[in-house]
Amino acid sequence: MNLTIFLLALFDGISYAALVFIVALGLTLIFGVMRILNIAHGSLYAIGAYATVSLTGFFLALGFAPVFAFPLMLVSAVLVGVLLGGPIEWLLLRRIYDKPEVLQLLVTFAVFMILEDVQRLVWGTQPYFQASALQALGNVTVFGVTYTVYQLILLPMVAIGLLLGLRFFLRHTVIGKLILATTEDREAAQSIGIDAERVFLFTFTVGAVLAGLGGALASPTTSILPGMGADMIVLSFAVVATAGLGQIGGAAVAALMIGLGRSFAVYVWPEVAVLVPYLIMVLVLLVRPEGLFGSPVARKI
């Protein structure tokens, strides 16, 4: 493998990793704070994509410039968080925090099933494609290979921005500190007057916004069609578990490992590319049962 090919695979891997990371970020945040693995995260991702495509199509038809697609991505993500994420926490999850883990998982699985059909009822079965945002940014050519600026530069920048932003938010703002405190010890946090319910509602909404944002950012690069959420959820599970549940920085590393592993596989041995995320996950968990950055949980006696 020569240097050019190495670099090309690196670029592809990074832009892929960026997108996966953004989706996994919301998942790991929710798990870190609420100890709930949200299977419906994949549906929120898909709905974020659908919403972006519909909104962009609508506004472009009114004559707005293609650049307008970028703010619409944010709007869609926030809509997903507020209209779906909030109610899911408030109406369903809130009632099952004291139930066994399996029931919590199944509630989100049930939401996943419902949202899969809702998507089809609202948007039908035909694939959508809306690439104005991507076209607005143009292409760059590296070593004779053309990349889109959107995938090569914008997506990784957004991913890094979100990573740093979220870390800053959790460590240096009051709400962030409240969230961290609740994560650390819910009962102690409540005893000093933190409203854990509101923290949970807020966290879940933010997580859902991140899922929606992942979908919104993915939408210009791919066909939006039924079933896209089911694939994404398994992939982001792999990222989150490899990193260690609730590890935000770890998720970035794991997403990079999986993204690079996959793109190098396409260059070296395309047949195993699809296996790479799971192989990495199993290998990591075999060596470090809590994931790369997870810490062992103290067991109750």
45/178 with CB nearer another protein:
45
Question: Which amino acid type is present at position 280?
Answer: I
Piece of the chain touching another protein by CB under 8 A; list 6-14, 74-82, 178-186, 195-203: 6-14
Region 142-161 residues binding another protein, contact defined as CB under 8 A: 143-148, 151
Between residues 143 and 168, which has the closer beta carbon with respect to another protein? Answer: 143
The dihedral through the CA atoms of 241, 52, 108, 120 has a sign that is negative
Of 24 and 111, the one with the shorter C-beta distance to another protein is 111
Footprint on residues 260-299 left by another protein (CB under 8 A): 262-263, 266-267, 270-275, 278-279, 281-282, 285-286, 289-290, 299
Interface with another protein includes 106 (CB under 8 A)? yes
Cα-based torsion angle of the residue sequence 247, 248, 251, 256 in order, rounded to the nearest 10 degrees: -140
Cβ atoms within 10 Å, residue 295: 10
Q: Is 256 among the residues that bind another protein (CB under 8 A)?
A: no
Nearest to 21 by CA among 277, 287, 225: 277
The minimum distance between CB 102 and another protein, in angstroms, equals: 4
What is the size of the binding site for another protein (CB under 8 A)?
90
Residues 194-223 that bind another protein (CB under 8 A): 218, 221-223
Spacing of C-alpha 24 from chain mean position: 4
Give strand pairing partners of 113: none
Instruction: Tell me which stretch binds another protein (CB under 8 A): 59-67, 128-136, 169-177, 206-214.
Output: 128-136
Residues numbered 44-103 forming contacts with another protein, rule: CB under 8 A: 92, 95-96, 99-103
By rule CB under 8 A, what string of x and - marks binding of each residue 218-237 to another protein? x--xxxxxxxx-xxx-x--x
Scanning 9-17, 51-59, 60-68, 72-80 for contacts with another protein by CB under 8 A, the matching segment is 9-17
Q: Is the distance from CB of 95 to CB of 108 less than 8 angstroms?
A: no
Tokens 């994949």 belong to: 42
| Interface with another protein (CB under 8 A), residue from 133, 134, 199, 255 | 134
Among 75, 118, 175, 194, binds another protein (CB under 8 A): 118
Rank residues 189 and 233 by Cβ distance to another protein and give the closer one: 233
Q: How far is the CB of 113 from another protein (least distance, A)?
A: 3
> Are the CB atoms for 77 and 212 separated by under 8 Å?
yes
Judged by CB, which is closer to another protein: 41, or 262? 262
Q: How far is the CB of 179 from another protein (least distance, A)?
A: 20
229 HSE (CA, 13 A, CB side)? 28
45: CB partners within 8 A, 6+ apart = 23, 211, 212, 214, 215, 218, 228, 229, 232, 233
Contacts of 30 by beta carbon, 8 Å cutoff, 6+ apart = 36, 38, 41, 203, 204, 207
Name the residue among 76, 21, 25, 26 with its Cα closest to residue 204: 26
From candidates 6, 58, 67, 114, binder to another protein by CB under 8 A: 114
173 contacts another protein (rule: CB under 8 A):
no
